[in-house]
Structures are given as C-alpha cells and as structure tokens.
Chain A
Amino acid sequence: MYDPTVARLTYRGLLGRRRALILGALPVLLIMISIAVRVFAGTDDQVASDVLGGFALATMVPIIGVIAGTGAIGPEIDDGSVVYLLAKPIKRPTIIFTKLIVAIAVTMAFSAIPTFLAGLILNGNGQQIAVAYTVAALVASIAYAALFLLLGTVTRHAVVFGLVYALVWEALFGSLVSGARTLSVQQWSLAVAHKVTGGDLVTSDVGLTTATVLLVAVTVAATWFAGQKLRTLTLAGEE
C-alpha cells in the first residue's frame, strides 16, 4: 500500500523549490504573532484560544493543507511528469495512499508543531489550550490532506478551489451560517480537541460522534475517489 519511492519523489517535490518557503511562512508568522501577544498582552487564556482558534486552526492549517495536499500530486499531473509513476506496474490506489501519507505528514509538521509552540508561548499550555489546538491541527491535517489531494487529482485549479474552500467556506460561511459548521473540517477537529482536553475554552458546534464519523468518511471517500480518478487519468497529448 505504501511505496517508498513514490513517497521520496513526493517529499522532494513538496519540500523543494518555492513551496517550502510558502509552507514555512505561515508558521513563522504564527510564532511571531504569539511572541508579540505574549510580550504586549501577557498571558491570557482567552486571548491564547482566540489566536490559536482564529489564526492557527481556521487559517493556517487549511492553507497548509491546500499547499501540501494539492502539491503532492497537482504539479505532476499538470506538467505531465506523473506519467513516470503511471507507466509502472504499481496499483493506482498505492500511489494515492502514499501521496496521502506524505501530504498528511507535511501538513502535520508545518501546522501542528507550530501550533503547539505558539500555544506554549501564549500561555504555557494553560488549561491544556496548546494541547487541544495541537490535537485539532493533527486531526484536521488528515482530512484536509485527503480532501485537497483529491482536488489536486480532479482539477488543474486545485489551489484556487482549495483556498476558496478553506477561506470562504471554513472561515466566512462557518461564522455566518451555522449549518455550514456541520460540514466544516475545522469544527470536526475542534470536537475531537474538546473531547481530549475537556475544557470550556475549546468547543465545537458539532458533536463528537458526528465529527468522528464525518472525518473518517470524508478521508476514506476522498482517498478512494482519488485512486479511482488516477486509474483513468487521461494524459492529453500536446496536439
């Protein structure tokens, strides 16, 4: 199911070039904001929760998910180099599954670790806030990576669609239309985080059972569909 060569090619494609800079920029910004807040406002659990929930989980994690998820396959399909993976006796779902693992690992590394560090800086993990948001980031990383990997497989404009989903749906609609929150990776991950820490500062509009079912369903369905899509991927000629 997991092919180390596919993984190596994917890691090098993702972490090389300019992409790594973009991946690194948001975490650096988060840490800088956290330091600034700590210096100017001191420790405040509510403020810490606002920064981690409002910026880290609502903005940084989905954007990194978009970059890592679509970037794990989109550019190869775009420039045609995916042909070197496809012209091999390897099962298509294996290629997708491997790329998913890589996308998840990269999303987690660039979102969960900085979230945890930011939490420590903001209030030293008071009320388990740092742990809660880190758990949320880890959980969200899986679903985002799967969703955006699928997006990278089905459309050439995956980054645009991904950002629209992440910013418009998750951030904007989520705060205006309560129904949209049920269909929000962010809310599902918060439900899990709430369960883990049991605090009142980290809450979700979605129940834990619904959240878990939807998280698993979305991840599995997106991965399966991406595998099917790759089986019949058409590489149009240049004519």
Chain B
Amino acid sequence: MTTLNIDHVSRWFGNVVAVNDITMTIGPGVTGLLGPNGAGKSTLINMMGGFLASSTGSVTLDGQPVWRNEQIYRQIGIVPEREAMYDFLTGHEFVVANAELHGLGKKAAQKALATVEMEYAQERKIQTYSKGMRQRVKMASALVHDPSVLLLDEPFNGMDPRQRMQLMNLLRRMGDEGRTVLFSSHILEEVEQLASHIEVIVAGRHAASGDFRRIRRLMTDRPHRYLVRSSDDRALAAALIADPSTAGIEVDLQEGALRIQAVDFGRFTTLLPRVARDNGIRLLTVSPSDESLESVFSYLVAA
C-alpha cells in the first residue's frame, strides 16, 4: 500500500500561480487527474515526481519527502509527457539502460518490454518509432523496477484508439494489482473510462474530487446556456418558459436571438424541438454557448 500525500501545495513561477493550495491523497488504484490545458496538471505531476519543488506545502510518499530524495525512485515509475528519450538507442538498449540505472539487469528489461508488447520492435532505433510505440517504451522504462507508484503525464496524447485501449487495459491491470496509478488528461471521456477516482484541477485549484459518477453529475447538472434563433423568437420564448426545465430566457435584440438558460439538461433537449413543432416555429440555430471544457470546469470551480 503506497499513498501519495499532497498537503496544501502551492507553486508559483514569478507572480503566476500555477498550483494553488492543493490538498489530496492518492491511494492504490487508478486515479485520473482531469483539467483543461494549462490548469497546472503537469506542474502538480512534476512536484509529485520530485522534479519541482513546491513553493509551499509538502508532497510525501508514505511519509517520505519526494523532493531531493532520489531513493524515492525505487518506488516511483514516471512516464513523462515529453517525447525526447535517447532516440539514438534501440528500444531494447533504452529499457536495459533504465534497468541498469535501477541496479537491475536484462531480465527485468525484457519483462517490461513484454508487458507493453514491444518485443517485436525492440531492436529498432527509437527515432523510427511511432508516437504510440514511444509511449509504450516509456511505459516499459517506468515499469522496469516494478514500482508501487506510477505517474503518467498525458499518456494518451496522440495515441490511436487501439493503442489507447491497450494502454488503458495495462493501467487498469496495474491498478487492480494494488499499485497507485495516477495519470493526467484533459479529456473527460478518457478519465471516465479508466479512473476509479477522479481529481479535477482548474486554473491551479482543486475543483472536485470523487468517482466518475459524481463528477459527471456535477458536469451535467449545471445550468446549460443555449443561443437559439427561430422564425418566431417571442412565441418560442413564451412556450418554453412555461416548462420547469427552463430557468430564464433573454430576448437578445442585437443578436436577434434567444439566450436560454436550461436547468434540466435532459428534459430541455427533448422539450425544445417538440415545443417548436407544436407551435409551428422553425428553429434556425440551436447552439450551446458554454459547452467548452473550460466553462464546464469553471462551473465546477464555482460550485
């Protein structure tokens, strides 16, 4: 059982706050670190991996500090986001070197390469590898010493669906074996499919925490805003406001459109076309005006 403790951790660069007073505990199983690009996920993972000092607060692994403690790497495996990895070596040479740096030998390297199913291409130079192959060799290098904690920064970036599936299965297996697996992603579906536990980071702050059902609910239960243009905006507005799924409607004269705030997302989406048809109104535009991930996330922060 290995637990990573992040205790009131902040990190700023100059006067930019990248991570703002985050406290969380990452235990065994697969945890997804979800947040939009630039939210501070990489900064946080770098602090968890001992590559960045926190400005305040502490990161510990079973009570041991992570920063300036190279012995911690006996327990941690890291899969960095960056691509560079001694491209002039073959996959096999690279993983063997990683094993040797842990005081292990070729056997451990071979086992790790087998785990990620890269034996078939292990004699090829890394510079000839596809993105997915690189990712798997990185994975092998992180697994070579059988670590109890695995940290992965955006591991699915640029992978094709099949490779994604493979890696997900592998990570799921690692989590089931009782390892502490943490990966970051900016894609909700990715995190939802894999993580039993989700931590959401937005603008450097810890926005939400829980299993995916809770996070999903937080994300869909929020008020949704739509911009609607129709053949008769006022008649449509009158008909919609009668239903409890709609909380407010603004007639935007400048835009020549309705701004609708729906509180019951599921009900509103079936209501709108029905109301329009019943009243003989043609819908010209229906566009969600706040569906960007950022706005979903900022809603979570406010919640």
A binding-site residues for B, Cβ under 8 Å? 3-6, 8-9, 12-13, 16-17, 79-81, 83-92, 231-239
Minimum CB distance partner of B88 in chain A: A16
Inside 8 A of A81's CB, which chain B residues have their CB? 82, 84-86
Query: Which of B38, B51, B103 is packed against the most chain A CB atoms within 10 Å?
Result: B51
User: Do the beta carbons of A86 and B51 come within 8 Å of each other?
Assistant: yes
Inside 8 A of A79's CB, which chain B residues have their CB? 82, 84
Determine how close the nearest CB of chain B comes to the CB of A43; give it in whole angstroms.
44
User: Do the beta carbons of B100 and A237 come within 8 Å of each other?
Assistant: no
The answer to whether residues A235 and B86 also contact, given A9-B97, A83-B78, A87-B76 and a CB cut-off of 8 A, is no
B66-74, B161-169, B192-200, B242-250: which one contacts chain A? B66-74
Minimum CB distance partner of B184 in chain A: A237
Inside 8 A of B108's CB, which chain A residues have their CB? none
Instruction: Say if the beta carbon of B81 comes within 8 Å of chain A.
Output: yes
The answer to whether residues A85 and B43 also contact, given A79-B82, A80-B80, A234-B53 and a CB cut-off of 8 A, is no
User: Do the beta carbons of A88 and B102 come within 8 Å of each other?
Assistant: yes
Q: How long is the Cα–Cα vector from A235 to B82 in the complex, in angstroms?
A: 10
Q: How long is the Cα–Cα vector from A232 to B67 in the complex, in angstroms?
A: 8
The answer to whether residues A238 and B81 also contact, given A87-B49, A232-B68 and a CB cut-off of 8 A, is yes
Partner of B51, one of A3, A12, A235, A238: A235
Partner of B97, one of A5, A17, A80, A238: A5
User: Do the beta carbons of A239 and B82 come within 8 Å of each other?
Assistant: no
User: Do the beta carbons of A239 and B38 come within 8 Å of each other?
Assistant: yes
Instruction: Say if the beta carbon of B180 comes within 8 Å of chain A.
Output: no
Inside 8 A of A13's CB, which chain B residues have their CB? 86, 88
Q: How long is the Cα–Cα vector from A87 to B49 in the complex, in angstroms?
A: 8
Inside 8 A of B100's CB, which chain A residues have their CB? 4-5
Q: Is the interface of A mostly helix, strand, loop or mixed?
A: loop
Q: Which 6 A-B pairs have the closest CB atoms?
A: A237-B42, A79-B84, A80-B82, A5-B100, A88-B101, A81-B84
Inside 8 A of B20's CB, which chain A residues have their CB? none
Interface size counted on chain B using CB atoms at 8 A: 41
The answer to whether residues A87 and B73 also contact, given A5-B101, A238-B81 and a CB cut-off of 8 A, is yes
A-B contact pairs, 23 of them (CB 8 A): A13-B88, A79-B82, A80-B82, A81-B85, A84-B141, A86-B51, A87-B49, A87-B73, A87-B77, A88-B98, A89-B74, A89-B103, A90-B70, A92-B70, A231-B68, A233-B51, A234-B53, A235-B52, A237-B43, A237-B45, A239-B38, A239-B39, A239-B42
The answer to whether residues A88 and B52 also contact, given A12-B88, A80-B80, A80-B82 and a CB cut-off of 8 A, is no
Q: How long is the Cα–Cα vector from A238 to B45 in the complex, in angstroms?
A: 12
Inside 8 A of A88's CB, which chain B residues have their CB? 70, 73, 98, 101-102
Q: How long is the Cα–Cα vector from A95 to B17 in the complex, in angstroms?
A: 32
Partner of A238, one of B42, B70, B71, B103: B42
Inside 8 A of B50's CB, which chain A residues have their CB? 87
User: Do the beta carbons of B97 and A83 come within 8 Å of each other?
Assistant: no
Inside 8 A of A3's CB, which chain B residues have their CB? 101
Q: How long is the Cα–Cα vector from A89 to B51 in the complex, in angstroms?
A: 13
Instruction: Say if the beta carbon of B115 comes within 8 Å of chain A.
Output: no
Inside 8 A of B295's CB, which chain A residues have their CB? none
Minimum CB distance partner of A5 in chain B: B100
User: Do the beta carbons of B53 and A232 come within 8 Å of each other?
Assistant: yes
User: Do the beta carbons of A80 and B101 come within 8 Å of each other?
Assistant: no
The answer to whether residues A89 and B70 also contact, given A5-B101, A80-B84 and a CB cut-off of 8 A, is yes
Partner of A89, one of B43, B71, B84: B71
The answer to whether residues A84 and B49 also contact, given A8-B97, A237-B42, A239-B40 and a CB cut-off of 8 A, is no
Inside 8 A of A235's CB, which chain B residues have their CB? 46, 51-52, 80
